[in-house]
Structure 1
Amino acid sequence: MIHQNCIVDVLGRSGKFDKAEEFIAKEMEETNQVTWATLLGAARNQANVPVAERAAKNLDKEMNASSYILLANTYYLAGMIDKSNETRDLMLKNNIKKIPGKTWGVIDGETVSFFANDYSHPEAKEILSFSKYLNEKISKLGYKPNFAFTSRKDLKTEKDKIEHLCSHSERLYVAHALRKANGSRQDIVGYKNLRICPDCHESTKYVSLVTETKIKLRDTNRWHVFQNG
Protein backbone atom coordinates (compact mmCIF):
# COMPACT_ATOMS: atom_id res chain seq x y z
CA MET A 1 0.00 0.00 0.00
CA ILE A 2 2.95 2.31 0.62
CA HIS A 3 3.90 2.05 -3.06
CA GLN A 4 0.31 2.74 -4.13
CA ASN A 5 0.05 5.78 -1.85
CA CYS A 6 3.24 7.10 -3.46
CA ILE A 7 1.57 6.85 -6.87
CA VAL A 8 -1.40 8.83 -5.52
CA ASP A 9 1.08 11.42 -4.23
CA VAL A 10 2.87 11.73 -7.59
CA LEU A 11 -0.36 12.02 -9.56
CA GLY A 12 -1.81 14.53 -7.11
CA ARG A 13 1.29 16.71 -7.01
CA SER A 14 1.27 16.89 -10.81
CA GLY A 15 -2.37 17.99 -10.76
CA LYS A 16 -3.68 14.77 -12.34
CA PHE A 17 -6.53 14.38 -9.88
CA ASP A 18 -8.80 12.45 -12.25
CA LYS A 19 -6.08 9.83 -12.68
CA ALA A 20 -5.30 9.83 -8.95
CA GLU A 21 -8.93 9.20 -8.00
CA GLU A 22 -9.31 6.64 -10.79
CA PHE A 23 -6.20 4.84 -9.53
CA ILE A 24 -7.62 4.77 -5.99
CA ALA A 25 -10.97 3.43 -7.21
CA LYS A 26 -9.69 0.82 -9.67
CA GLU A 27 -6.21 -0.22 -8.57
CA MET A 28 -6.33 -0.10 -4.77
CA GLU A 29 -8.17 -2.94 -3.05
CA GLU A 30 -8.19 -0.95 0.17
CA THR A 31 -7.23 2.54 1.29
CA ASN A 32 -6.07 4.02 4.58
CA GLN A 33 -5.74 7.41 6.24
CA VAL A 34 -2.48 8.08 4.40
CA THR A 35 -4.18 7.59 1.02
CA TRP A 36 -6.80 10.27 1.58
CA ALA A 37 -4.52 12.61 3.54
CA THR A 38 -2.06 12.44 0.62
CA LEU A 39 -4.80 13.34 -1.86
CA LEU A 40 -6.02 16.11 0.44
CA GLY A 41 -2.51 17.56 0.70
CA ALA A 42 -2.12 17.55 -3.08
CA ALA A 43 -5.54 19.20 -3.47
CA ARG A 44 -4.47 21.90 -1.04
CA ASN A 45 -1.38 22.66 -3.10
CA GLN A 46 -3.59 23.15 -6.19
CA ALA A 47 -6.49 24.84 -4.33
CA ASN A 48 -8.77 22.12 -5.71
CA VAL A 49 -11.81 22.34 -3.43
CA PRO A 50 -13.92 19.47 -4.89
CA VAL A 51 -11.06 16.96 -4.58
CA ALA A 52 -10.17 18.21 -1.09
CA GLU A 53 -13.78 17.83 0.05
CA ARG A 54 -14.02 14.29 -1.35
CA ALA A 55 -10.76 13.33 0.35
CA ALA A 56 -11.96 14.81 3.64
CA LYS A 57 -15.27 12.96 3.33
CA ASN A 58 -13.41 9.67 2.90
CA LEU A 59 -11.29 10.45 5.95
CA ASP A 60 -14.50 11.07 7.93
CA LYS A 61 -13.82 10.09 11.56
CA GLU A 62 -10.09 9.85 10.85
CA MET A 63 -9.89 13.61 10.27
CA ASN A 64 -7.09 14.85 12.51
CA ALA A 65 -5.75 18.35 13.08
CA SER A 66 -3.49 18.21 10.01
CA SER A 67 -6.41 17.19 7.79
CA TYR A 68 -8.61 20.00 9.10
CA ILE A 69 -5.82 22.51 8.48
CA LEU A 70 -5.24 21.17 4.96
CA LEU A 71 -8.94 21.52 4.15
CA ALA A 72 -9.12 24.99 5.71
CA ASN A 73 -6.06 26.12 3.74
CA THR A 74 -7.57 24.73 0.53
CA TYR A 75 -10.63 26.91 1.06
CA TYR A 76 -8.42 29.90 1.87
CA LEU A 77 -6.32 29.48 -1.27
CA ALA A 78 -9.51 29.23 -3.32
CA GLY A 79 -10.71 32.52 -1.85
CA MET A 80 -13.38 30.86 0.30
CA ILE A 81 -12.41 32.61 3.52
CA ASP A 82 -15.69 31.96 5.35
CA LYS A 83 -15.46 28.22 4.63
CA SER A 84 -11.86 28.24 5.81
CA ASN A 85 -12.86 29.86 9.10
CA GLU A 86 -15.81 27.47 9.48
CA THR A 87 -13.48 24.49 9.09
CA ARG A 88 -11.11 25.81 11.74
CA ASP A 89 -14.06 26.51 14.05
CA LEU A 90 -15.32 22.95 13.50
CA MET A 91 -11.91 21.61 14.46
CA LEU A 92 -12.07 23.53 17.73
CA LYS A 93 -15.68 22.46 18.32
CA ASN A 94 -14.63 18.82 17.96
CA ASN A 95 -11.82 19.49 20.45
CA ILE A 96 -9.13 18.59 17.93
CA LYS A 97 -5.92 20.42 18.67
CA LYS A 98 -3.23 21.17 16.14
CA ILE A 99 0.13 19.53 16.83
CA PRO A 100 2.74 22.29 17.21
CA GLY A 101 5.34 22.29 14.44
CA LYS A 102 8.81 21.44 15.76
CA THR A 103 12.15 21.52 13.95
CA TRP A 104 15.36 20.29 15.54
CA GLY A 105 18.94 19.25 14.84
CA VAL A 106 22.55 19.89 15.78
CA ILE A 107 23.82 23.44 15.34
CA ASP A 108 27.35 24.44 16.32
CA GLY A 109 27.76 21.18 18.25
CA GLU A 110 24.57 21.67 20.26
CA THR A 111 21.20 19.94 19.85
CA VAL A 112 18.54 22.63 19.53
CA SER A 113 14.84 22.62 18.75
CA PHE A 114 12.28 25.25 17.83
CA PHE A 115 8.50 25.23 17.92
CA ALA A 116 6.37 27.50 15.76
CA ASN A 117 6.16 30.96 17.35
CA ASP A 118 8.80 29.86 19.86
CA TYR A 119 10.38 32.61 21.94
CA SER A 120 11.97 30.41 24.60
CA HIS A 121 15.49 30.37 23.14
CA PRO A 122 17.93 32.75 24.89
CA GLU A 123 18.59 34.41 21.52
CA ALA A 124 14.96 34.30 20.37
CA LYS A 125 14.76 38.02 19.63
CA GLU A 126 17.90 37.97 17.48
CA ILE A 127 16.83 34.76 15.70
CA LEU A 128 13.42 36.15 14.76
CA SER A 129 15.03 39.40 13.65
CA PHE A 130 17.41 37.47 11.38
CA SER A 131 14.53 35.38 10.02
CA LYS A 132 12.72 38.60 9.09
CA TYR A 133 15.94 39.95 7.55
CA LEU A 134 16.19 36.83 5.38
CA ASN A 135 12.56 37.31 4.39
CA GLU A 136 13.36 40.82 3.17
CA LYS A 137 16.33 39.57 1.14
CA ILE A 138 14.47 36.75 -0.57
CA SER A 139 11.49 39.02 -1.29
CA LYS A 140 13.82 41.08 -3.48
CA LEU A 141 14.60 37.92 -5.47
CA GLY A 142 10.96 37.16 -6.19
CA TYR A 143 9.73 35.23 -3.15
CA LYS A 144 6.07 35.98 -2.40
CA PRO A 145 4.62 34.99 0.99
CA ASN A 146 1.71 32.58 0.90
CA PHE A 147 -0.78 33.98 3.37
CA ALA A 148 -2.90 30.82 3.22
CA PHE A 149 -0.63 29.62 6.00
CA THR A 150 -1.37 32.65 8.15
CA SER A 151 -5.15 32.27 8.23
CA ARG A 152 -5.48 32.70 11.98
CA LYS A 153 -8.19 35.24 12.72
CA ASP A 154 -5.98 37.33 15.01
CA LEU A 155 -3.50 38.07 12.21
CA LYS A 156 -5.00 41.24 10.76
CA THR A 157 -2.19 43.08 8.95
CA GLU A 158 0.32 41.98 6.32
CA LYS A 159 3.10 42.75 8.81
CA ASP A 160 1.51 40.40 11.37
CA LYS A 161 1.18 37.66 8.77
CA ILE A 162 4.79 37.98 7.59
CA GLU A 163 6.07 37.83 11.17
CA HIS A 164 3.96 34.72 11.72
CA LEU A 165 5.52 33.04 8.67
CA CYS A 166 8.99 34.05 9.84
CA SER A 167 8.19 32.38 13.17
CA HIS A 168 7.52 28.92 11.70
CA SER A 169 9.78 26.35 13.35
CA GLU A 170 11.78 25.51 10.22
CA ARG A 171 12.42 29.19 9.49
CA LEU A 172 13.64 29.84 13.04
CA TYR A 173 15.87 26.76 12.88
CA VAL A 174 17.44 27.75 9.56
CA ALA A 175 17.89 31.36 10.71
CA HIS A 176 19.65 30.20 13.88
CA ALA A 177 21.89 27.81 11.92
CA LEU A 178 22.89 30.56 9.49
CA ARG A 179 23.68 32.96 12.33
CA LYS A 180 25.91 30.37 13.97
CA ALA A 181 27.59 29.47 10.67
CA ASN A 182 28.68 33.12 10.37
CA GLY A 183 29.07 32.98 6.61
CA SER A 184 30.92 29.65 6.48
CA ARG A 185 28.30 28.16 4.10
CA GLN A 186 28.38 24.80 5.86
CA ASP A 187 25.46 22.46 5.20
CA ILE A 188 22.39 22.82 7.41
CA VAL A 189 20.55 19.63 8.43
CA GLY A 190 17.28 19.63 10.35
CA TYR A 191 14.26 17.47 11.12
CA LYS A 192 10.57 18.34 11.45
CA ASN A 193 7.76 16.45 13.20
CA LEU A 194 5.18 17.48 10.57
CA ARG A 195 5.23 18.07 6.84
CA ILE A 196 7.08 21.20 5.80
CA CYS A 197 4.52 23.85 4.93
CA PRO A 198 4.58 24.93 1.25
CA ASP A 199 5.46 28.52 2.15
CA CYS A 200 8.49 27.40 4.18
CA HIS A 201 9.46 25.09 1.33
CA GLU A 202 9.36 27.99 -1.12
CA SER A 203 11.16 30.44 1.16
CA THR A 204 13.91 27.92 1.99
CA LYS A 205 14.63 27.53 -1.72
CA TYR A 206 15.34 31.24 -1.92
CA VAL A 207 17.33 31.26 1.33
CA SER A 208 19.61 28.51 -0.02
CA LEU A 209 20.19 30.68 -3.08
CA VAL A 210 20.84 33.99 -1.34
CA THR A 211 23.14 32.44 1.31
CA GLU A 212 24.81 29.92 -1.04
CA THR A 213 24.10 27.24 1.55
CA LYS A 214 22.88 23.66 1.13
CA ILE A 215 19.90 23.07 3.42
CA LYS A 216 18.56 19.56 4.09
CA LEU A 217 15.30 19.17 5.99
CA ARG A 218 13.62 15.88 6.80
CA ASP A 219 9.87 15.94 7.47
CA THR A 220 7.42 13.08 8.09
CA ASN A 221 7.31 12.31 4.39
CA ARG A 222 10.73 12.77 2.79
CA TRP A 223 14.04 14.61 2.64
CA HIS A 224 13.89 18.10 1.13
CA VAL A 225 17.25 19.26 -0.22
CA PHE A 226 17.68 22.92 -1.14
CA GLN A 227 20.76 24.13 -3.00
CA ASN A 228 21.11 27.23 -5.18
CA GLY A 229 17.33 27.62 -5.10
Structure 2
Amino acid sequence: MTLPIDGPRLNPKSGLARQLVVFLHGYGADGRDLIEIGRQWQHWLPDAAFVAPNAPERCVQSPTGRQWFDLTSRDPGERWRGVVKARPGLDAFLDAELATHNLDDSKLALVGFSQGTMMALHTGLRRRRAPASIIGYSGLLVGPEHLDEATARTAKGATPPILLVHGDADQVIPLEALFDSADHLGKANIPAEWHLSLGVGHGIDGAGLEHGGLFLARNFGLPTPKRP
Protein backbone atom coordinates (compact mmCIF):
# COMPACT_ATOMS: atom_id res chain seq x y z
CA MET A 1 0.00 0.00 0.00
CA THR A 2 1.35 3.40 -0.99
CA LEU A 3 0.83 6.16 1.56
CA PRO A 4 1.05 9.96 1.11
CA ILE A 5 4.55 11.41 1.26
CA ASP A 6 4.29 14.04 3.96
CA GLY A 7 5.72 14.68 7.39
CA PRO A 8 6.83 17.14 10.07
CA ARG A 9 8.00 20.63 9.18
CA LEU A 10 9.89 23.53 10.72
CA ASN A 11 9.17 27.05 9.56
CA PRO A 12 12.07 29.41 8.86
CA LYS A 13 13.47 31.08 11.95
CA SER A 14 13.31 34.41 10.10
CA GLY A 15 9.70 33.86 9.03
CA LEU A 16 10.32 33.87 5.27
CA ALA A 17 11.54 30.79 3.36
CA ARG A 18 14.44 31.50 1.04
CA GLN A 19 15.74 27.92 1.06
CA LEU A 20 14.20 24.46 1.48
CA VAL A 21 15.97 21.57 3.24
CA VAL A 22 14.38 18.13 2.84
CA PHE A 23 15.39 15.29 5.17
CA LEU A 24 15.00 11.71 3.90
CA HIS A 25 14.92 9.19 6.73
CA GLY A 26 16.29 5.68 6.89
CA TYR A 27 14.68 2.25 6.69
CA GLY A 28 12.14 1.62 9.45
CA ALA A 29 12.10 5.22 10.71
CA ASP A 30 9.96 8.22 9.77
CA GLY A 31 10.26 11.96 9.42
CA ARG A 32 10.38 12.53 13.17
CA ASP A 33 13.75 10.80 13.22
CA LEU A 34 15.50 13.70 11.45
CA ILE A 35 13.40 16.86 11.71
CA GLU A 36 15.06 17.98 14.95
CA ILE A 37 18.32 18.38 13.05
CA GLY A 38 16.64 21.38 11.48
CA ARG A 39 16.48 23.08 14.87
CA GLN A 40 20.23 22.65 15.25
CA TRP A 41 20.85 24.07 11.78
CA GLN A 42 18.56 27.07 12.12
CA HIS A 43 21.45 29.09 13.55
CA TRP A 44 23.28 28.71 10.23
CA LEU A 45 20.17 28.65 8.03
CA PRO A 46 17.67 31.12 9.52
CA ASP A 47 15.79 31.49 6.21
CA ALA A 48 15.41 27.77 5.54
CA ALA A 49 12.18 25.81 5.74
CA PHE A 50 12.73 22.21 6.83
CA VAL A 51 10.56 19.20 6.03
CA ALA A 52 11.09 15.51 6.79
CA PRO A 53 8.59 13.49 4.76
CA ASN A 54 7.55 10.00 5.78
CA ALA A 55 8.37 7.45 3.09
CA PRO A 56 5.40 6.07 1.12
CA GLU A 57 5.48 2.46 2.36
CA ARG A 58 5.01 0.85 5.74
CA CYS A 59 8.19 -0.93 6.73
CA VAL A 60 8.03 -4.69 6.33
CA GLN A 61 10.29 -5.34 9.32
CA SER A 62 9.07 -2.46 11.49
CA PRO A 63 5.33 -1.85 10.94
CA THR A 64 5.36 1.40 12.94
CA GLY A 65 8.05 2.81 10.63
CA ARG A 66 8.31 3.58 6.94
CA GLN A 67 10.49 2.56 4.04
CA TRP A 68 11.30 4.13 0.69
CA PHE A 69 11.53 0.60 -0.69
CA ASP A 70 11.78 -2.97 0.52
CA LEU A 71 15.08 -4.36 1.80
CA THR A 72 14.18 -7.93 2.66
CA SER A 73 15.72 -10.02 -0.12
CA ARG A 74 19.29 -10.73 -1.10
CA ASP A 75 18.64 -9.88 -4.71
CA PRO A 76 21.50 -7.57 -5.76
CA GLY A 77 19.10 -5.62 -7.98
CA GLU A 78 16.66 -4.86 -5.17
CA ARG A 79 18.11 -1.48 -4.23
CA TRP A 80 18.21 -0.31 -7.84
CA ARG A 81 14.61 -1.29 -8.51
CA GLY A 82 13.68 0.33 -5.21
CA VAL A 83 15.17 3.77 -5.88
CA VAL A 84 13.80 3.78 -9.43
CA LYS A 85 10.29 2.98 -8.20
CA ALA A 86 10.37 5.50 -5.33
CA ARG A 87 11.86 8.40 -7.28
CA PRO A 88 8.72 9.69 -9.10
CA GLY A 89 6.78 10.10 -5.87
CA LEU A 90 9.66 11.89 -4.19
CA ASP A 91 10.19 14.14 -7.22
CA ALA A 92 6.52 15.12 -7.15
CA PHE A 93 6.76 15.91 -3.44
CA LEU A 94 9.84 18.08 -3.97
CA ASP A 95 8.18 19.95 -6.83
CA ALA A 96 5.11 20.65 -4.68
CA GLU A 97 7.16 21.86 -1.70
CA LEU A 98 9.25 24.17 -3.87
CA ALA A 99 6.09 25.58 -5.45
CA THR A 100 4.56 26.18 -2.03
CA HIS A 101 7.52 28.37 -1.07
CA ASN A 102 7.93 29.89 -4.57
CA LEU A 103 11.46 28.48 -4.81
CA ASP A 104 13.36 26.56 -7.47
CA ASP A 105 15.94 23.75 -7.23
CA SER A 106 18.78 26.20 -6.76
CA LYS A 107 17.35 26.77 -3.27
CA LEU A 108 16.82 23.06 -2.48
CA ALA A 109 19.02 20.77 -0.38
CA LEU A 110 18.50 17.04 0.09
CA VAL A 111 19.78 15.44 3.29
CA GLY A 112 19.53 11.67 3.59
CA PHE A 113 20.33 9.10 6.25
CA SER A 114 21.03 5.45 5.33
CA GLN A 115 18.26 4.42 2.90
CA GLY A 116 17.39 8.12 2.67
CA THR A 117 20.92 8.77 1.39
CA MET A 118 20.29 6.26 -1.40
CA MET A 119 17.19 8.24 -2.33
CA ALA A 120 18.88 11.65 -2.01
CA LEU A 121 21.73 10.71 -4.32
CA HIS A 122 19.57 8.88 -6.84
CA THR A 123 16.91 11.58 -7.05
CA GLY A 124 19.07 14.66 -6.64
CA LEU A 125 21.41 13.63 -9.44
CA ARG A 126 18.47 13.18 -11.80
CA ARG A 127 16.42 16.32 -11.15
CA ARG A 128 15.68 18.60 -14.11
CA ARG A 129 17.95 21.12 -12.41
CA ALA A 130 20.51 20.27 -9.77
CA PRO A 131 19.73 21.06 -6.14
CA ALA A 132 22.00 23.43 -4.26
CA SER A 133 23.53 20.48 -2.42
CA ILE A 134 23.12 16.86 -1.37
CA ILE A 135 24.26 15.40 1.96
CA GLY A 136 24.36 11.67 2.59
CA TYR A 137 24.83 10.32 6.11
CA SER A 138 25.65 6.63 6.67
CA GLY A 139 24.48 5.57 3.21
CA LEU A 140 25.68 4.63 -0.23
CA LEU A 141 25.31 5.27 -3.95
CA VAL A 142 22.94 2.80 -5.60
CA GLY A 143 23.56 1.71 -9.19
CA PRO A 144 26.90 3.40 -9.95
CA GLU A 145 26.80 1.74 -13.36
CA HIS A 146 23.84 3.99 -14.18
CA LEU A 147 25.57 7.32 -13.49
CA ASP A 148 25.24 8.26 -17.15
CA GLU A 149 21.67 9.14 -16.13
CA ALA A 150 22.94 11.63 -13.54
CA THR A 151 22.43 14.68 -15.73
CA ALA A 152 21.28 17.25 -13.14
CA ARG A 153 23.28 20.45 -13.48
CA THR A 154 23.15 23.91 -11.97
CA ALA A 155 22.44 27.01 -14.04
CA LYS A 156 26.22 27.29 -14.50
CA GLY A 157 26.47 23.72 -15.76
CA ALA A 158 27.99 22.25 -12.59
CA THR A 159 27.08 19.02 -10.85
CA PRO A 160 25.38 19.38 -7.45
CA PRO A 161 27.79 19.69 -4.51
CA ILE A 162 27.79 16.46 -2.49
CA LEU A 163 28.95 15.72 1.06
CA LEU A 164 29.14 12.13 2.32
CA VAL A 165 29.47 11.50 6.06
CA HIS A 166 30.08 8.08 7.62
CA GLY A 167 31.06 6.58 10.95
CA ASP A 168 34.10 4.31 10.93
CA ALA A 169 32.33 1.91 13.33
CA ASP A 170 29.16 1.54 11.21
CA GLN A 171 28.08 -2.12 11.26
CA VAL A 172 24.93 -1.60 9.17
CA ILE A 173 26.46 0.03 6.09
CA PRO A 174 30.23 -0.46 6.30
CA LEU A 175 32.64 2.44 5.99
CA GLU A 176 33.84 1.11 2.63
CA ALA A 177 30.53 2.29 1.15
CA LEU A 178 31.63 5.90 1.62
CA PHE A 179 34.87 5.42 -0.31
CA ASP A 180 33.22 3.29 -2.99
CA SER A 181 30.50 5.91 -3.48
CA ALA A 182 32.96 8.80 -3.64
CA ASP A 183 35.15 6.85 -6.07
CA HIS A 184 32.29 6.01 -8.43
CA LEU A 185 31.04 9.60 -8.36
CA GLY A 186 34.53 10.92 -9.07
CA LYS A 187 34.97 8.61 -12.05
CA ALA A 188 31.68 10.03 -13.41
CA ASN A 189 33.07 13.58 -12.98
CA ILE A 190 30.75 14.23 -10.04
CA PRO A 191 33.09 15.30 -7.23
CA ALA A 192 32.07 14.64 -3.64
CA GLU A 193 33.48 15.81 -0.33
CA TRP A 194 33.48 13.40 2.58
CA HIS A 195 33.86 13.41 6.34
CA LEU A 196 34.78 10.44 8.53
CA SER A 197 33.31 10.34 12.05
CA LEU A 198 35.69 8.41 14.28
CA GLY A 199 34.18 5.96 16.74
CA VAL A 200 30.67 6.50 15.37
CA GLY A 201 28.38 3.64 14.31
CA HIS A 202 25.24 3.88 12.19
CA GLY A 203 24.34 7.38 13.28
CA ILE A 204 25.32 11.04 13.18
CA ASP A 205 27.59 12.76 15.69
CA GLY A 206 28.01 16.42 16.51
CA ALA A 207 30.93 16.92 14.15
CA GLY A 208 28.98 15.35 11.31
CA LEU A 209 26.05 17.66 11.98
CA GLU A 210 28.31 20.70 12.06
CA HIS A 211 29.96 19.75 8.78
CA GLY A 212 26.51 19.30 7.26
CA GLY A 213 25.11 22.63 8.44
CA LEU A 214 28.15 24.57 7.27
CA PHE A 215 28.15 22.71 3.94
CA LEU A 216 24.53 23.71 3.30
CA ALA A 217 25.14 27.33 4.25
CA ARG A 218 28.14 27.56 1.93
CA ASN A 219 26.34 26.04 -1.02
CA PHE A 220 23.28 28.23 -0.51
CA GLY A 221 25.72 31.11 -0.96
CA LEU A 222 25.34 32.38 2.60
CA PRO A 223 28.06 34.20 4.54
CA THR A 224 30.23 31.92 6.65
CA PRO A 225 28.24 31.69 9.87
CA LYS A 226 29.72 31.80 13.34
CA ARG A 227 29.38 28.75 15.50
CA PRO A 228 26.46 28.94 17.98
What TM-score results when the alignment is normalised by the length of structure 1?
Answer: 0.30
Structure with greater proportional helix content: 1
Structure with the larger RCO, 1 or 2 (CA within 8 Å, 6+ apart) = 2
What TM-score results when the alignment is normalised by the length of structure 2?
Answer: 0.30
Structure with greater proportional strand content: 2
| Max Rg structure | 1
